Amino acid sequence: MSHSLVNESPPDFDVVTEVLKTLASSRNAEQTLKRSLWFLSRARGWRSAFIAVEQPDGKLGGLCSTGLSDGWQEGIRLPPGEGIVGRIHESESAVVVSELDSSDPMFDDRTGAVGVLDAERVALLGTPIRHEGRPLGVLVALCENPDGKRIFTDDLQLLEVVAAPMGQALLLDREVNPNRKIVQEEISRRRNAPPPVYQVDWAIGRSASMQHVFEQVHQVAPARTTVLLRGESGTGKELIARAIYRLSPRKDQPFVSVNCAALTETLLESELFGHEKGAFTGAQTQRKGRFELAHGGTLFLDEIGDISPSFQAKLLRVLQEREFERVGGATSVKVDVRLIVATNRSLEQMVREGEFRADLYYRINVVSIVLPPLRERREDIPEMAQYFLNRFNRENGRALHFNDEALRVLSSCYWPGNVRELENCIERTATMAHHDTIGRCSFLCEIDRCLTKALHYMEREDAVRPARSSDVTVSAALNVPARFGAPERDAGGLGMHAGERGPGDERERLLWAMERCGWVQAKAARLLGITARQIGYALRKHGIELRRF
């Protein structure tokens, strides 16, 4: 990424005149500034633009924009000097970043406010908004730069020219509307308030990722909307489906669950739609299907990605028309069912390969909730382990408990089988425990007898190969970086360019390589292009504790 200062070239006089007229048309600075941004973007062909202003707490917050999606203001919340925008605010110069790079530490778009994808070439132009030397905010424009060679001298100088009257409009607005500061302080107070803690029956999750899931559950439950639950096997998709049902207005109506992967196409059709008497051999009476049984309530279809293409067409008709015929019947049956579906597969990849109908995909992918794997919410593991142990104690009349070392072992495991594997591990360990205290040596992984470890290594044998274009897993649909080529190597090792080597970058690259290679140091070293001795030193340097299986 290149950062360059600006020079020369007179701005477009007509554009400047129009902006000045707009700013003078009203005392509402936010309105006039937004109209000015819209006019500038149209006149210069910018992709988007926004203004961030200094808040009472000293941070930069979004004021107005054009071309950005709803909710962008939540993402523009920067302490002084943080990110490109924060640096511009502190400086006295306009800046051009000819190509944004999401890996650059100066580019802070964790919340997606700017909305630039890795594959896009977008330039950022920015200038501080000041009045009589007083910093007020930042004016930013985002421009397409497909070949990376476009020069933005005229655009940037235009930003510098209009920033001065914009600063005057901002200052005047604050003087005329003194209450706006009170409003901004209230907004700032609400933003800095601790987030609410969401609870879901039978689910444990105080981690940020699970709190986000629980928040979505509470928000989507009252509606009739179809929900698609996504996540690896064992992450608790059916538990979340039942939570949505219990929080919905249909909680007093039936909840019916079907595992689509457990039935053949013929059996699945009969199971879902029912059959008439004599429809096939053995059909001695009429039988209602799961859709009918769930009438007025909720139907949960697990492993929706495993149904055949021909059955996908039949299911699509039911979802569109909300009616069907029983197997062997000719009379339409109308149903009122709220549908929740789940999968651990990449439906997007299946659509591309013709294995899953695109029209059915769009029908079920209305609200998508992604359940994180257990390894991405390790802070929940001790509480979950204690819950499973307490249940074992109640059912078996025992009084077992963990010591601190046992909880550290559990928290450091990779858990490829997620919550289901953790539950089985606790039950197995508790069953075989000789004493009331479960310690480090109580676990099979500590004596190298954990078969899950062997299974996990077999699944990751190809981890050191550069990924093929066809190597797409469910993690691609979940926005998880599952596909990487071999990292480039510099003089310092760890596969980083000299310009991007910070402690945070190096530590994250180490964690990525170790998880990719099942925490086998030799494999991770080959992946990063360094020696096993170097990776051992790097792990100790960054305080990374080896995880066990």
Predicted confidence at residue 296, as pLDDT, reads 94
Nearest Cα residue to 23 out of 10, 36, 7 = 36
Predicted confidence at residue 16, as pLDDT, reads 87
Predicted confidence at residue 112, as pLDDT, reads 55
Q: Which CATH number fits domain 462-541: 3.40.190, 3.30.70, 1.10.10, 1.10.3470?
A: 1.10.10
* Residue partners of 402: CB distance under 8 A and separation at least 6: 382, 385, 386, 389, 410, 437, 438, 439
Give yes or no on whether 208-370 and 375-449 have one common fold.
no
Predicted confidence at residue 90, as pLDDT, reads 84
Taken as a whole, the chain contains a residue count of 549
Per-residue pLDDT of the chain (549 residues; tens, 9 = 90+): 444 443 444 556 788 888 888 888 877 888 889 999 998 998 888 989 999 888 877 788 888 888 887 777 776 777 777 888 888 888 878 888 888 876 655 565 654 556 565 557 888 899 999 877 778 889 999 998 888 778 888 888 899 999 989 988 888 777 655 555 545 555 556 656 566 677 777 789 889 899 999 999 999 999 999 999 999 999 999 999 999 999 999 999 999 999 998 888 888 888 899 888 877 777 778 888 899 999 999 999 999 999 998 899 989 989 888 888 888 888 888 999 999 999 999 999 999 999 999 999 999 999 999 999 998 899 999 999 999 999 999 999 999 999 999 999 898 888 888 999 999 999 999 999 999 999 988 988 777 667 665 555 544 444 434 443 333 333 333 333 332 333 333 334 454 433 333 344 678 788 888 887 778 887 788 788 788 778 888 888 888 887 765
Residue 161 parent element (H or E): helix 153-176
> For the structural domain made of 3-190, what CATH number should be given?
3.30.450.40
Where are the domains positioned within the chain?
Answer: 3-190, 208-370, 375-449, 462-541
Angle at 540 (CA atoms; ends 537, 542), nearest 5 degrees: 110
Predicted confidence at residue 524, as pLDDT, reads 83
Predicted confidence at residue 399, as pLDDT, reads 94
Q: How far is CA 250 from the centre of its chain?
A: 29
Nearest Cα residue to 303 out of 356, 374, 353, 246 = 356
Predicted confidence at residue 391, as pLDDT, reads 94
> For the structural domain made of 208-370, what CATH number should be given?
3.40.50.300
Predicted confidence at residue 432, as pLDDT, reads 92
Predicted confidence at residue 15, as pLDDT, reads 84
Enumerate the β-bridge partners of residue 257: 300
Q: Which fold has domain 375-449?
A: Helicase, Ruva Protein; domain 3 (1.10.8)
